[in-house]
A and B are shown apart, each in its own frame.
Chain A
Amino acid sequence: MLEVVDLACERGERRLFQGLNFSLKAGELLYVLGQNGSGKTTLLRTLCGLAWPAVGEVRWDGTEIRRLGDEYHRKMLYIGHLNGVKDDFTAFENLRVTGQLAGYADSEERALAALRRMELTACAELPGKVLSQGQRRRLALARLLLGDSRLWILDEPFSALDVKSVEGVQTVLSEHLDNGGMVVLTTHQEVEITSRRARHIHLSA
């Protein structure tokens, strides 16, 4: 379970938001809404431990995430707005390296399966630099299917995706929620994910 207690975040000298409290249980989806500059990305980066909160704590199963360290990283997957695709690696190699870093012994099989699911099999042997924006985004999202992270933190996952791919990603997210996973995401597109427990927080500047 992810818990946020009295969280305040700053960017530079500016206080973005404060007094934020919420918790996320298995099977729950959280939309983070707000205008540009309201701190959505900063909140997501704080949730995954890349940024430090100015005040307050982020806890996983009751323990502060920085204290959990790698144990938390094993259960959490963050996809920021940078795709993290290496230009000089093929799509397949990109995913395989991610899998190896996560410590999967069968990272090749996992990478192939993830590519198939994201309908990227045709590009598997193409280097990252020739992929289109939409393909790169799908490749970034394919990391979700590599392993078994419980918590997915997604910053604008649907950007640069066409309608068909958006539907595909929606299905992936719904399945993850049905399997007891958790998703935190920001989006400015009208994307509804069929879930019994979708929650919203609105960050106001």
Chain B
Amino acid sequence: MWAALRCVVMRDLTLAMRRRADVLTTLFFFVIVVSLFPLGVGPEMDTLRLMGPGVVWVAALLASMLSLGRLFSGDYIDGTLEHLVLAPQPLTVLVLGKIAAHWLVSGLPLVLIAPLLGLQYGLSTDALWVLVLSLILGTPVLSLIGAVGAALTLGLRGGGVLVSLLVLPLYIPVLIFGAGAVDAQVTGLGPQAHLSLLGAFLVPALVFAPWAAGWALRISLE
């Protein structure tokens, strides 16, 4: 089982490394969206400091949602998804591998660049650390929930827009506690409660989302 998991992760990472441009697109999208907000609301640092965590988190939500299109559709189009479903390995494990690889190439870069963007919004060092921590805990949940939406909309007309309708409402708790953690740090309440709740979302998502996504894949392939 671990061998299968490793195999899928390595496979998807190798494929992603051969299409580096796709990976960078998501990252640049994230950077651009975050940088647009000060242009829209004005450069007052006090306002920006208040908005910063929320803006970074909303942009992370959108970026992670946009990258969902790549999760299964490539394999669906060339037929390798059928191989995965019919492989003599538990589909849940294979799907978990795909989600893990997807997070490594589209979620982790967001986490790493977020402190830089936080600086644009005048966040303090402590707040930046909490931002990174909250993203580390939260973006995998986004990838996991998103995988179910991506699997459900596989091969549909307008699948990209549709997936946002399905997935964004389900992202809301992550958004609230992700941005809330940074807010709590800034206002001096301490981010522990928010961060532990984000962790509490991650565990059931890790268990159930790959399974549900696998089920959705079977439905979509029929």
Which residues does A use to contact B, with CB under 8 Å? 45, 48-52, 70-71, 73-74, 76, 78, 80, 82-89, 93, 97-98, 100-103
Contacts and interface: CB of A to CB of B under 8 A. Distances in A.
B79 A84 contact: yes
A93 B14 CA distance: 10
B211 to A, nearest CB: 14
Given A84-B79, A85-B78, A86-B80, A101 B90 contact: no
Contacts of A51: 222
Contacts of A71: 88
Contacts, number: 68
22 contacts: A45-B222, A50-B82, A50-B85, A50-B218, A70-B88, A73-B88, A76-B86, A83-B79, A86-B78, A86-B80, A87-B78, A88-B14, A88-B19, A89-B14, A93-B14, A97-B7, A97-B11, A98-B83, A101-B4, A101-B8, A101-B89, A102-B88
B84 interface: yes
A88 B18 contact: yes
Contact of A101 (B15, B79, B83, B221): B83
Given A73-B88, A89-B15, A80 B4 contact: no
Given A50-B222, A70-B90, A103-B3, 15 more contacts: A73-B86, A73-B87, A76-B86, A78-B86, A80-B79, A80-B82, A82-B78, A84-B78, A85-B80, A86-B80, A87-B78, A88-B15, A100-B7, A101-B83, A101-B87
Nearest to A88: B18
A81 to B, nearest CB: 8
Interface of B: 3-4, 7-8, 11, 14-15, 18-19, 78-80, 82-90, 94, 218, 221-222
Identify which of B8, B14, B18, B79 gathers the most chain A CB atoms within 10 Å of its CB: B79
Interface of B is mostly: helix
Contacts of B90: 70
Contact of A83 (B78, B86, B87, B94): B78
Contact of A82 (B3, B82, B218): B82
Contact of B88 (A45, A74, A85): A74
A76 B82 CA distance: 13
Contacts of A102: 87-88
Given A86-B15, A88-B19, A101 B7 contact: yes
Nearest to B222: A51
A82 B87 contact: no
A2 to B, nearest CB: 15
A52 B222 contact: yes
Given A50-B221, A51-B222, A103 B79 contact: no
Contact of A48 (B8, B14, B15, B86): B86
Contacts of A45: 222
A98 B82 CA distance: 11
A48 B222 CA distance: 11
Nearest to A42: B222
Nearest to A50: B221
A98 to B, nearest CB: 6
A133 B15 CA distance: 21
Nearest to B94: A101
A194 B198 CA distance: 63
